[in-house]
Structure 1
Amino acid sequence: MDQPTIGILHPGSMGAAVAACAATNAADVLWCETGRSTTSAERADQFALTPVATLAELLDRSDIVISLCPPAVAEDLAREVAGQRFAGVYVEANAINPERVTRIAALLGPDATVVDGGVVGSPPVGGKTPTLYLSGPADATERIETLFAGTPVLTEVLGKEVGKASALKLAYACFQKTSRVLVALAVGMAREYGVDQELIEVASRRTDSYLSEPQYVAKTAARAWRWGPELEEAADALAAAGLPPEMLHAAATTLARWNGVKDDSELTLNDALNRLAQP
């Protein structure tokens, strides 16, 4: 099969770097310069992407379009593409929820073939190797795997169901992003009381990620009746230090869903998750 022409919407820090990797196995990689910033133009030039004047031209020339844009505008962008009757493969690779991906697939169908994508990791520069998770029609996901073969962008197909890749991306981001915010709150509170170095020392004794230990969720549920009030106290301490307490209030509210399983040592992970979803 001839090498495809790729269109990237739009060349942000992740989009431009991913597009540059796609160029390894593509005839050309296009981007639409109309309405984009000087920074975007400089970035696209840095990665040797080919500028075109209009979205219509990009879509007309592209076999595969990759959408990597701010999540808030993902559907508007897809709507514009649908208005041009694009009939190639559309990789919806934004950090959006599965319901939105399903709506985008409906918007673009039946003309285009939509592949759900989710990038986990940093932009593929300086030795970084993010993974592009894919779900959707097998022939289309296979084309995307071929596109990134031998490049720093790794690919993994999760199945044929649109929404799986986005669900994985958001589930991971849910932990990864929130945990960083919790670090800021914890260190901020500790600094206020002059114990920030001691906090870091305590934390350094344990380097494992709780995300890799889901069995601990059941233990968390059994202790929720104690942990919730403790987090409310911590929220008050944050507020007193001039730091935002809302995240800890929300965590305490979440824990309250497990108040009915106080000290239940027989609770399983499935039981805990079921109670969390259906209190």
Structure 2
Amino acid sequence: MRRSSRRWSARDSEDSSHWISFSDLMSALLLVFLLAVVLLILTLTTKQQELIAQEAEAERAEAVFANQRDLLETQVATLSEREEIRSRLVREIAAELHERGIEVTISEDASVLHIPTSALGFASGSYEIRPAHEDVALTIGRVMSATVREDARFEALDTVFVEGHTDSQAFSGLEGTGNWGLSTFRAISLWRLWGDRLTTTERLDNLLREDGRPVFSVSGYADTRPVEAEQSTDVQKAANRRIDIRFTVKGPTAEELATIVEDSLDGSAAEAAGADS
């Protein structure tokens, strides 16, 4: 009996050690599983936060681009409106002058009013407006002044250039300034006549925009912008001895363009950052 008890005791001890080893193994596997679960949860949480950040960045970039698009659309709409005002101005001036028997022409885009030498009487090599043409010159000034002042439409304009032109005949006067000086003095002669003879409410030299800048300016282009390329006859040469009134409209300011460019660069950077992530 004693010998039998010892055999059962040894067998029980061996079975018990086997169960302990299996239990340790299961505990270790459970620990590894829990660690894997925790790691997975941390990874998913990190990815979710990254996705949220990317979505927020994408929304910000979209808002930047939307704002940039709105700014551009506003600028385009404003510029189109100003160009339409200019077109109406030039066409109205030309129509009014035609009704008064003064023949002028306008450019295809209705931005330039061409006043021929027949209206102002510039002889070759001369910048003087002859007395017989002064009334016509003054009528042009009055019509133009009344038209641009109506409803303060001149506020849509940037500058109105009174441009003098010459034919291709070489000119050696005006202290060697040549055709450049001759064309400039033709514009100055018309400008001075308007300043001396138009009334205070008609004068163009006192027409100022809200920012205090004058609307009108004077310049000369010699024979560099001919309306008749061939100048072999007196008629062809006379066509180039003219005054052009060039109407330019206000464009976007440097500050407005800088804002659009800055927003564009910020949006591009945000988009690139989103693509890299």
* TM-score when normalising by structure 1: 0.22
Structure with bigger helix share is 2
Structure with bigger strand share is 1
Structure number, greater radius of gyration: 2
